Amino acid sequence: KPNGQYYVEKGYEQEFISKQKILDLPGIGLSLLDKLQQNCSHQTIETCKNVQNLFSLEQLKTILGKKQGQTIYDMSRAIDTRILSKDYLPKSISIDVNYGIRFQTFDELTLFVKQLSMELHKRLKQAKQKGKQLTVKIRVRSANAPIEPEKFMGCGKTDDSSRLINLHSYIDEPTTIELEAIKLLKQFHFIVADLRGIGIGITQLQSTVKNNQGKDVNGTRTLFECNQFRVPKSMVSTENADINQNIDQPSESSVSRKRPIQQEQTIAIARK
């Protein structure tokens, strides 16, 4: 910790990695482990040490492909060339409660939603983010599940559902979060007493911190900042030059239009 990071002193890398489970490596799942196990039926593959002893680089590339084989070979030996980023930009910020949820009325539920909205607001402020998409997730007791599960105040077996809404602007205000979340809750059809879990999340985030160019640190730009919407400077300067020239030196056509009118007025006066 934090964020799942663990520091290993130099010189102890191999000792540490050899004891780690292969499934704990990033990007390694059961399907990949099954492929390895199928090619090594005489021994169970569980740790990185097993991979080191049982497979060469060429064997891993043959079984998993060149790229994935190289990755597993390196990671099982504590080799990772990816850059460790200190400034992590979250893709979503949410709050979920799946324990102790027992309500009898919708008013009780809305009061709890208000509390969740306040907590989500604090998390957004702490992360210096606003969001444009709001999601509500609920867990409702399954029809065949007992009213009270084995675990005291747990959620037990549930049917899970979610709804989302795209907002008109980026938000982090607790009142807005609360109102939009309640709107989504009313779209579900469930018995309040059967509710066993609820979560509210914000996605499509935008940082509230601006960099030196006045843009948010997530890199969001307006249409006026995009190159495809800009008029080339050469075109602007040429148009300005033409305008200035027309102002300083009136065209002959504009002068010739005025002279006949003046002549007609003179003739009319002479006749009188």
Q: What are phi and psi of 66, to 5 degrees?
A: -60, -50
Structure tokens at 167: 């907002």
Query: Which class in CATH covers the domain with range 92-207?
Result: alpha beta
Q: What is the pLDDT of residue 161?
A: 96
Q: What are phi and psi of 212, to 5 degrees?
A: -65, -25
Q: What is the pLDDT of residue 4?
A: 66
Q: How confident is the model at residue 115 (pLDDT cuts 50, 70, 90)?
A: very high
The answer to whether 53 and 42 are in contact (CB under 8 A) is: no
Share of the chain above pLDDT 90, in %: 62
Q: Return the residue matching tokens 């109102």.
A: 179
The answer to whether 34 and 9 are in contact (CB under 8 A) is: no
Cβ neighbour number for residue 60 with a 10 Å cutoff: 24
**Are 13-75 and 92-207 the same fold in CATH?**
no
> Which of the 8 DSSP states describes residue 254?
H
The CATH number that domain 13-75 falls under is 1.10.150.20
> Can you give the residue ranges of every domain in the chain?
13-75, 92-207
Q: How confident is the model at residue 122 (pLDDT cuts 50, 70, 90)?
A: very high
Average pLDDT on 74-87 reads 84
Q: What is the pLDDT of residue 272?
A: 44
DSSP string, 74-93: HHTTT---SPPPSS---SEE
Which residue type is seen at 114?
A: K
Q: Each residue of 211-260: pLDDT tens digit?
A: 555 555 555 554 444 454 455 555 545 555 554 555 444 444 444 444 44
Strand ordering across the sheet containing 92-97: 92-97, 195-207, 129-141, 158-171
